[in-house]
Structure 1
C-alpha cells in the first residue's frame, strides 16, 4: 500500500470517529516513511498519529509521543514545525492543557504565515482564538484576541472568524454559562441544526455551541462527565442511556401519567379524581396515590409560575415532559461522540431522532421549552424555585428573545 493510500485510509477512519484505528494506520505510515528515509513526512504523520490517539482518549500516550516528536523536529524546517504546532494544539487541548494548546496554535499560525500558506494559517489562527476563549473565558480573552487579530491580514476567512469570536466575547456577559454560543463554522439552519436546537437548553446552560456535535478539544471532559453523571464508560452503556432518553424512559413515568389524566382546562378536582381512579384501577397503595396527587399540585404551582414568567402563555398548560428527555438525548449524542463512544453518523442519527420525536409531541419551541423545564424542575427543584429554576428561566429567555437564537431563526417542526 502506498503512503497516500495509507494516509487516505487513516483520514477516513478519523471522519468516521474511529480514532484508535486511525492512529494505528498513521503509525504504520510513519514507520514506512522512516524506513525510506523520508524523515520530514514521518514527523508530520507521527504528529497525526498522536492527535488521533488523543481523540481516542489515550491522551497520556499522545503527549509522550508529542514530546518525542518535538525533540526530533527542533532542527527541522519551519513548515514541519508549524504543522507539528498545529497538531500539538489539538493534542494538548484534548489533555486539558488549553492555555498551552492556544500558544501552540498561535505559533502554528505564525509559521504558516511566514510560508505564505494562508489557508493553514487561517485555520490555526481560528483554532487559537477558540482555545483562548475556552481557556480565559469571554472577558479574559478580549486582549489576547485583539492581539491575535492584529497579526492576521484582513479579508481572510481566519480574520473573519476571529473577528466574530471577538465580537461575541465583547457582548457576552461576564460568565461562561447561561449564554448563547453559535459555532460560526457550522450551519445554524437546516434539518440537523433544527434537531440540535432541541438540545439548546443544556448548550446555553453550559456555555457551549448549540449547533455542533464536535468539540475535539474536550474529549477528556466528555468522558469524565459521562462516567460521573451517567455511569457511561463505553459504547454499550452510552447506547443504553441514549435509547432511554430517546424513548422518554429516563424521567419518572408517573409525571406523564399525571399530565395525561388532565383534560383541557384547570378543574383541579376533576383532574385529581381522574388520577385517583387510574391508581385505584391498578391497586396502587394509598400512600403512593397521595404522593401522585401531591405531584399534580406541584405541577399546578409550576405552571402558574411559568405563566407569570412568560414560559407559558396566559392560558397555557404543560402537556408533556418528554421534552426533557429529548433535549438531553441531543447532548448525550454530543458527549458520546466527543468521548469516542460512537461515530459521527450514529450521533447525528440520534439527534435527528430526538428532533423528530420532539416535533411529534410539541407544537412550538415555547411548548417544548415549558415541557423541558417542568421535567427538569420535578427532578431537581422540588418546588423551591431556587437556582435550578432561575437558571432554566434564564436559558428560556435567552433562547426565546435573543435574535440570534435558533428558536427565533427557525420555525418549529
Structure 2
C-alpha cells in the first residue's frame, strides 16, 4: 500500500471516530517517512499522530509526540511554511485538550498566519475560528472582545468562519461583566439532541454558577474546586458518597417530603380553605399530631405566598399553580452527574445515564420548561429562602428569566419532552 493510500485510510479512521486506529496508522506512516529522511512530510504526519492520540484519550503521550514534532520542525527549510502551519494547527488542538489554552491560542494564531502565507485561506480561516474559541476559553467572554474583533477582521467576509467568529464576538459583547447569573453555551459541544435536552434540565444551576449548561464533563470548571464544593456542600468525598447523593436526587429524596405531601393534597380547583381542610383530613388519617398538622397547613400558606409572587414576577402565568417540587432534585441531579464526572467520582457512561434519567423524570412530572422552572424554584425557595424573597429568590428569578427570554437559551431552542 502506498503512503498516500495509508494516509487516506488514517483520515477515514479519524472521520469515523476511531482514534486509536488513526493514531496507530499515523505512527506507522510517520516512521516510514522518517526512514526515508522525508522530514517535512514526517513532521506533518507526527502532528496528526499527536492529535489522534489526544482524541484517543492519551493526552500525555500526545504531548510527547507533539514535542518531538516541534523539535523536528526546527530543522525544516524556511520555505516549508505549510508544514509548520499544519503542525501549529494540530498543536493548538492538542494543547487545548491538555488544558493549556494560552499556548493553544498562540499556536492557532501561528497556524492562521502560516496558512495565509501559503495561500491556503480556507485553512487559515478555520485556524482563526479555533483561535477565537480559545481566546474566549483563555480570557473569558468580555476580556476576549478585542482579540475577537481582530480575528474577525482577519477572516474572509463571506465564509462560515466569519459568521461563527462574528457570533462569538456578539455573544461576548452582550455578556454581562460577571461570571455568574449568565447563560454559557460551549460552542464546541452539541446544543441539541437527547443529551442536550436532558442537560438543559440542569440549566438553572448552570446559569447561576456561570457554567456551560451543555457540557457533560464540566471541563470549564476546575476539578479541584468541584471536589471542594462537593465536600463542603454535599459531604461527598468519593465515589460512594457521590453515588448516594445522585440516587437520592434521582429518587426525589433529597428535599423535604412534607412539601410534596402538602402539594398532593390540593385538588384541581381547591381554594385555600378547601386545601387546608384536605391537609387536616389527611393528617388525621395518618395519625399525625396536632402540631404536625398545624405545621403542614402553615407550609401550604407559605406555598401560596410564593405562588402569588411567582405570578407577579412571571414565574407562573395567572391562575397557574405548582404541582410538584421534584424538579428541584432532578435539576440538581444533572449537575451532580456533571460534577461527579469532573471530580473523577464516576465515568462518562454513568454520568450520561444519570443525566438522561433526570431528563426523563422531569418530563414525566412537568408539561413545559416553564412548569419545570416554577417547580424547581419553589423547591429551592422552601429549602433556603424561608419566605424572605431575598438573594436566593432574586438569583433564581434571574436564572428563570435568562432561560426563558434569551434567544440562545436551550429552553427557547429545545422542545420540552
TM range (shorter): 0.7 to 0.9
Tell me the equivalent position of 1:75. 75
Per-residue CA shift, 1:152-184, capped at 9, x if unaligned? 122221111001111122223222332334556
Tell me the equivalent position of 2:263. 259
The reply on whether 1:326 has 2:327 as its aligned counterpart is no
Change (3 A) 1:228 1:85: farther
Contact 1:400 1:408 in 2 (8 A): yes
| Residue 324 of structure 1: how far off its partner (Å) | 2.0
Per-residue CA shift, 1:275-311, capped at 9, x if unaligned? 4554565566777666555544433332232122121
Tell me the equivalent position of 1:221. 222
CA distance in 2, matches of 1:382, 1:296: 13
CA distance in 1, matches of 2:64, 2:383: 43
Tell me the equivalent position of 1:379. 383
Contact 1:161 1:184 in 2 (8 A): no
Range with bigger deviation, 346-355 or 249-258:
346-355
CA distance in 1, matches of 2:298, 2:182: 34
Matches of residues 146-165 of structure 1 in structure 2 within 5 Å? 146-165=149-168
Q: TM-score, normalised by structure 1?
A: 0.76
| Residue 239 of structure 1: how far off its partner (Å) | 6.5
Q: Which of 160, 167, 172 is the equivalent residue of 2:170? A: 167
CA distance in 1, matches of 2:92, 2:45: 19
Structure 2 gap ranges (5+): 35-41
Matches of residues 7-86 of structure 1 in structure 2 within 5 Å? 22=20, 32-33=28-29, 35-38=31-34, 39-40=42-43, 43-48=46-51, 51-52=54-55, 66-67=66-67, 69-76=69-76, 77-86=80-89
Range with bigger deviation, 82-91 or 301-310:
82-91
Report which structure shows greater RCO (CA 8 Å, sep ≥6): 1
Change (3 A) 1:348 1:36: same
Matches of residues 14-413 of structure 1 in structure 2 within 5 Å? 22=20, 32-33=28-29, 35-38=31-34, 39-40=42-43, 43-48=46-51, 51-52=54-55, 66-67=66-67, 69-76=69-76, 77-182=80-185, 194-210=197-213, 212-213=214-215, 218=219, 221=222, 224-225=225-226, 228-229=229-230, 231=236, 242=246, 244-264=248-268, 267-268=271-272, 270-272=274-276, 274-275=278-279, 278=282, 292-332=296-336, 341-343=346-348, 351-409=355-413, 411-413=415-417
| Residue 338 of structure 1: how far off its partner (Å) | 6.3
Tell me the equivalent position of 1:19. none
Range with bigger deviation, 102-111 or 114-123:
114-123
| Residue 98 of structure 1: how far off its partner (Å) | 3.1
Per-residue CA shift, 1:164-218, capped at 9, x if unaligned? 11112222322233233455676666655544443332343344554x44679x2
CA distance in 2, matches of 1:14, 1:91: 17
For this pair of structures, how many residues does the alignment match? 398
Q: TM-score, normalised by structure 2?
A: 0.75
CA distance in 1, matches of 2:249, 2:157: 46
Change (3 A) 1:409 1:67: closer
Range with bigger deviation, 76-85 or 143-152:
76-85
CA distance in 1, matches of 2:407, 2:221: 33
CA distance in 2, matches of 1:10, 1:403: 34
Q: What SS does structure 2 have at the residue aligned with 1:367?
A: helix
CA distance in 2, matches of 1:275, 1:261: 6
| Residue 397 of structure 1: how far off its partner (Å) | 1.4
CA RMSD of aligned residues (A): 4.2
